[in-house]
Every structure is written in structure tokens, then in C-alpha cells.
């Protein structure tokens, strides 16, 4: 079996899995309200923090039977959202095969499980039918330009490249050449132009910027419980919360509660 055929089949598997999961979750064809909340509702312990390594983008690990997903918070929010959707696929379908999976979502690595997870993330976040419907509802027969991509990426909460590709996949561009011209704004050399256009259209830059570190509330609550039960000191509590820009006071905890 040739590599192109394998990749086509992997893509179809990922798309069908995404449709199945969206159906189970009652998402219909619309945007995912909050990818991070959704992942945590599936029992995933989510950590978003600087990786300190340009080659470490995301991973899924099962630690003492607890599924942990890490994504690099130095990457843009749009990419982080795609990475979490990618890791959700691994969590739902692959975690019994591998205890750890280090990933570069969207890279087209050629690894079968990675290709499936990429296709899953794409269809899960920007389903073909949903993209087509939302575009026609908002813009009618208007030919897609950079502005339409930017407006729809706010709706579906994905990166510029992911949104442009989803619109191409939905048949909204008249030609591949037109798609490539519009897609070019998402390149690194056009970063400032993209940000300027987003602002001119009245949107925030959150999707195209890195984020602050974030840790699952389950972890934060467990740390607080340990302090409440006298298992850790107040100074230890503060040190555990500090990397996530949290303080004991935010949880109603003062130093005088425990010695």
C-alpha cells in the first residue's frame, strides 16, 4: 500500500472518529464552546506551560492511571487549542497502546496515529459542514479573502492556517491558487500584517498570541486540600501555586489557618 493511500485512509479514520465524538457530545455541526473545558470534562488533567524546548509541542501521558495532557503555552492560543483536540484523539483511542505520546500536531509527520489525530482535530474543531454553513450564513456568495478567514477563526476559535484550510476543504475557495494567496497571510513573515488586520476588524489578538501558564483546576484543588488536611506547609502551598500565577488568598486560604 503506497504512502499517499495510507494517509488518505488515516485522514478518513480521523474524520469519522471526530464525527462520532461530536455526535456523542451533542455538538452538532457548530463550534466547540471551549476545547480546554471539554478536555477536562473527559477526565484529562490539562497543563499549559512553557516547554523550554522548541521541539516539545504537546504530549499525552498516563501517570498513575491519570491522563495528563501538556501543551506548550509559548505557542499561540490557536495552536494550543488544536494541540488539545489532537491529544483528545490519542486519549480516546490510543492511550491503551502507549503510556506516553510526544506530538507535533499539524506537522504532517507521516506517522499513522499522528495523521489520524490531526484529521480528528481538524474535523472536531472546524467540521466541514459547519464551516460551509457558517460561511454562507455570514457572507453568502462573497469570495473568501483574508478578512473572512479572520472573522470565521473567531467563531471556531482556531488558528488562521487551520481556518483557511478548513474553508478550502469545505469547497469555499474557487481554486487552489486563491487558497494559497489567502493562506499566505498566516505565514511567519506576514505575522505583523495579520495582527494589524485582526485589530482593524475589531478583534482581539488572543488566538495569535502565546498565553499565560495554566494548570487544571483539579490539581489546584488537590493542592489546597493537602494544605487543609495538614499534609503540606503554607510555604509549600504557595510555591506549588506560584508557577500558575495563583495565590493561596485566591482560594480563601490564609497563612494563619495552619502552622
Per-domain residue ranges for the chain?
Answer: 3-125, 128-208, 216-257
Q: Is the dihedral of CA 124, 126, 132, 136 positive or negative?
A: positive
Mean pLDDT of 89-112: 78
Q: Give, for 207, the enclosing helix (H) or strand (E).
A: none
Determine the Cα angle at 90 with ends 86 and 240, to 5°: 80
Q: Which of 39-48, 93-102, 212-221 is the least confident region?
A: 93-102
Q: Which of 90-94, 138-142, 237-241, 254-258 is the least confident region?
A: 254-258
The closest of 88, 122, 125, 124 to 103, measured between CA atoms, is 88
CATH label, 3-125, candidates 1.10.760.10, 3.40.50.300, 3.10.180.10, 1.10.10.2910: 1.10.10.2910
Mean pLDDT of 73-81: 95
Quickly state the pLDDT bin for 99 (edges 50, 70, 90): low
Please report the pLDDT score of residue 147 as a whole number: 98
Examine the pLDDT at 259 and tell me if it is beyond 50: no
Please report the pLDDT score of residue 131 as a whole number: 98
Whole-number Cα distances in Å, 66 to 21, 42, 43: 21, 12, 8
Mean pLDDT of the chain, nearest integer: 89
Mean pLDDT of 115-135: 97
Give this prediction's pTM: 0.86
Mean pLDDT of 58-66: 82
Please report the pLDDT score of residue 127 as a whole number: 98
Is there a contact between 193 and 142 (Cβ–Cβ < 8 Å)?
A: no
Examine the pLDDT at 108 and tell me if it is beyond 70: no
pLDDT > 90: what percent of the chain?
Answer: 61
Examine the pLDDT at 106 and tell me if it is beyond 90: no
Computed over its alpha carbons, how large is the radius of gyration of the chain? 20
Examine the pLDDT at 234 and tell me if it is beyond 90: no
Q: Which of 15-19, 101-105, 234-238 has the highest mean pLDDT?
A: 15-19
Q: What is the pLDDT of residues 4-38, one digit of tens each?
A: 888 899 999 999 999 999 999 999 999 999 999 99
Amino acid at each position: 500500500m503506497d504512502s499517499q493511500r495510507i494517509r488518505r485512509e488515516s485522514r478518513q479514520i480521523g474524520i469519522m472518529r471526530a464525527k462520532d465524538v461530536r455526535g456523542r457530545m451533542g455538538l452538532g455541526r457548530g463550534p466547540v464552546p471551549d476545547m480546554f473545558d471539554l478536555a477536562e470534562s473527559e477526565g484529562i488533567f490539562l497543563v499549559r506551560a512553557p516547554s523550554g524546548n522548541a521541539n516539545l509541542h504537546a504530549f499525552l501521558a498516563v501517570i498513575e492511571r491519570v491522563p495528563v495532557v501538556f501543551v506548550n503555552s509559548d505557542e499561540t492560543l490557536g495552536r494550543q487549542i488544536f494541540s488539545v483536540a489532537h491529544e483528545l484523539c490519542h486519549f480516546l483511542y490510543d492511550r491503551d497502546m502507549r503510556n506516553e505520546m510526544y506530538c507535533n500536531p499539524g506537522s504532517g509527520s507521516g506517522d499513522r496515529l499522528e495523521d489520524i489525530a490531526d484529521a480528528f482535530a481538524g474535523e472536531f474543531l472546524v467540521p466541514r459542514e459547519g464551516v460551509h454553513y457558517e460561511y454562507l450564513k455570514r457572507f453568502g456568495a462573497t469570495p473568501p479573502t483574508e478578512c473572512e478567514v479572520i472573522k470565521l477563526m473567531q467563531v471556531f476559535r482556531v488558528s488562521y492556517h487551520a481556518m483557511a484550510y478548513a474553508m478550502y476543504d469545505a469547497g469555499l475557495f474557487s481554486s487552489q491558487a486563491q487558497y494559497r494567496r489567502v493562506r499566505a497571510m498566516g505565514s511567519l513573515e506576514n505575522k505583523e500584517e495579520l495582527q494589524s488586520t485582526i485589530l482593524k476588524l475589531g478583534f482581539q489578538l488572543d488566538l495569535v498570541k502565546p498565553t499565560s501558564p495554566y494548570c487544571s483546576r483539579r490539581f489546584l484543588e488537590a493542592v489546597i486540600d493537602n494544605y487543609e488536611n495538614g499534609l503540606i506547609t503554607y510555604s509549600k502551598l504557595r510555591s506549588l501555586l506560584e508557577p500558575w500565577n495563583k495565590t493561596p488568598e485566591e482560594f480563601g486560604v490564609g497563612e494563619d489557618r495552619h502552622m
